């Protein structure tokens, strides 16, 4: 058999090429730390590794969604808490305004602070997130969901939609509450009102309260002028004369005071006070038969359960002498529910509504926090699978690489020695 030098060289080149390929492959595995560089290395393991990596990416996205929801929900919760603080201050100011000894300047100071607090409240309602979107704007909300109109009213420009983020394969978390639910639909005894309407009514009540008195009295004779609507109203007043006190109840309206006169005269033997209808039909005269003091207080008007935009029903009490001259300052009186007393209840309902919204936000935060722990545990398990399937045994690879380099050196040395031989070396 003849062996040509050319054939021998070709075989050696192919051998060296295979050794170098193995060395290069091993070096790449060492440098990357990966055991699978190509699907052909281990098709089954490669598929499992791909699935594990995809699951890891999904879990990472869930965690990013949780983090985003947590940030927005905490901002919402903080804003709601600040809003509650503002309304609590409103309640404190209302209590101060109910002080009968407070003068007109005192009421003005309170109403001024309330107007400033309304501006603060409007700013809180228009709080924006990191993207400049109003957190109370609803789904894809506008940057300023609440707009102050020329007449002082506040209009909601957002919607009732809700944004949700996926935090697991079968679970979402709400990242916002709509401003309508939080600020615009509060159930009060006077019907559903917006928080800003309640605030405006409260401010109006405080400003009106300075002009009204809870009690009026005069010596011997008083003139009582009424301001009433055309509709019939059920009035209740506490009347005190020289003989005692009595609660008087009567249905009256504009120009229709005879029922009240009759009701007062029906118990004059218990109060010592009689009444006569004024010539204009809109006033009555009160006279104590024993020349004692006459006092009116605690006015109640059926159907008035909360502060109104303006006081619609009231009386003006003026003490007079026999000649008809005024002996006392004219005092206005009305049902306190038209003033500040009912504002406390309305304000508390507004606080309760915001607290209810905070409870909902807290529930969403709790859901996100719980899912964070779940996602963290799942991510740890998946990452272990990725490491098990894809990470190389560096110690074994280095040992293998050293072995391959040794083999290469040996083969090169052998080839060099063979290459120095001639034909005569083979035929000896």
Q: Of 261, 312, 310, which is closest to residue 283 (Cα–Cα)?
A: 261
pLDDT at residue 377, rounded to an integer: 79
Cβ atoms within 10 A of the Cβ of 243, count? Answer: 17
CA–CA–CA angle 148, 304, 192 (5° rounding): 40
The two tokens of residue 197 are 């309407």
Looking at residue 305, what is its pLDDT?
66
Map tokens 């590794």 to a residue.
49
> Do residues 318 and 225 touch, judged by C-beta distance below 8 A?
yes
pLDDT of residue 10: 59
Per-residue pLDDT in tens (0 to 9) along the chain, 428 residues: 445 555 555 555 565 566 555 555 555 555 555 545 444 454 545 555 566 667 778 888 888 899 999 999 999 999 999 999 999 999 999 888 877 667 778 888 999 999 999 999 999 999 999 888 899 998 877 789 999 999 888 999 988 888 899 888 888 999 999 999 999 999 887 778 899 999 998 888 888 777 888 889 999 999 999 998 888 899 999 999 999 999 999 999 887 899 999 999 999 999 999 999 998 889 999 999 888 999 999 999 987 766 666 788 899 999 998 888 999 999 999 987 777 777 888 899 999 999 999 999 999 999 998 888 888 777 777 666 555 544 444 445 456 545 655 655 555 555 555 555 554 454 55
Helix ranges (DSSP H) in 192-294: 195-209, 258-266, 268-271
Identify the CA nearest to 315 among candidates 265, 260, 268: 260
**Looking at the DSSP assignment, which residues form a beta bridge with residue 275?**
286
| pLDDT for residue 167 | 87
Whole-structure pTM value: 0.66
The helix or strand, by DSSP H or E, that contains position 56, with its residue range, turns out to be helix 43-97
What sign has the CA pseudo-torsion 194, 195, 197, 198? positive
**Domain residue extents for the chain:** 1-33+392-428, 58-206+343-375, 213-337
Instruction: Report the SS3 class of residue 268.
Output: helix
Q: Determine the Cα angle at 407 with ends 401 and 409, to 5°.
A: 105
Three-state DSSP state, 293: strand
Q: Looking at residue 20, what is its pLDDT?
A: 58
Burial of 18 (C-beta count, 10 Å sphere; 0-12/13-18/19+)? exposed
Class of domain 58-206+343-375: mainly alpha
């Amino acid at each position: 058999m003849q062996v040509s030098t050319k054939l021998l060289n070709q075989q050696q080149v192919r051998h060296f090429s295979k050794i170098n390929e193995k060395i290069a492959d091993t070096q790449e595995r060492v440098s990357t730390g990966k055991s699978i560089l190509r699907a052909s290395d281990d098709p089954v393991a490669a598929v499992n590794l791909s699935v594990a990596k995809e699951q890891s990416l999904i879990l990472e996205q869930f965690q990013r969604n949780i983090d985003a929801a947590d940030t927005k929900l905490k901002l919402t919760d903080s804003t709601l808490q600040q809003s509650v603080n503002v309304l609590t201050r409103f309640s404190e100011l209302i209590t101060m305004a109910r002080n009968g000894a407070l003068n007109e300047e005192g009421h003005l100071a309170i109403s001024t602070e309330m107007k400033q607090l309304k501006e603060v409240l409007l700013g809180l309602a228009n709080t924006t997130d990191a993207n400049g979107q109003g957190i109370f704007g609803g789904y894809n909300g506008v940057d300023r969901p609440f707009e102050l109109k020329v007449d002082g009213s506040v209009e909601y420009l957002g919607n009732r939609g809700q944004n949700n983020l996926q935090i697991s394969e079968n679970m979402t978390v709400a990242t916002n509450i709509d401003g309508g639910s939080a600020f615009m639909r509060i159930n009060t005894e006077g019907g559903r009102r917006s928080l800003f309407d309640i605030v405006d009514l409260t401010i109006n009540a405080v400003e009106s309260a300075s002009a009204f008195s809870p009690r009026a009295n005069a010596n011997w004779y008083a003139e009582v002028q009424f301001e009433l609507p055309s509709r019939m109203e059920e009035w209740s007043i506490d009347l005190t004369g020289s003989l005692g006190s009595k609660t008087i109840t009567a249905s009256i309206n504009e120009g229709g005071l005879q029922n009240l006169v009759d009701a007062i005269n029906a118990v004059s033997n218990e109060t010592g006070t009689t009444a006569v209808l004024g010539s204009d039909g809109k006033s009555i005269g009160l006279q104590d038969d024993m020349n004692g003091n006459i006092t009116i207080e605690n006015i109640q008007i059926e159907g008035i359960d909360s502060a109104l935009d303006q006081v619609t029903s009231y009386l003006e009490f003026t003490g007079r002498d026999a000649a008809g001259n005024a002996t006392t300052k004219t005092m206005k009186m009305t049902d306190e529910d038209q003033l500040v007393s009912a504002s406390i209840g309305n304000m508390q309902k507004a606080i309760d509504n915001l607290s209810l919204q905070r409870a909902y936000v807290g529930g969403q935060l709790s859901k996100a926090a719980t899912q964070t722990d779940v996602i963290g545990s799942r991510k740890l398990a998946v990452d272990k699978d990725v490491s098990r399937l894809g990470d190389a045994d560096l110690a074994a690879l280095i040992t293998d690489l050293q072995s391959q380099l040794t083999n290469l050196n040996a083969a090169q040395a052998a080839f060099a020695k063979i290459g120095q031989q001639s034909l005569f070396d083979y035929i000896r």
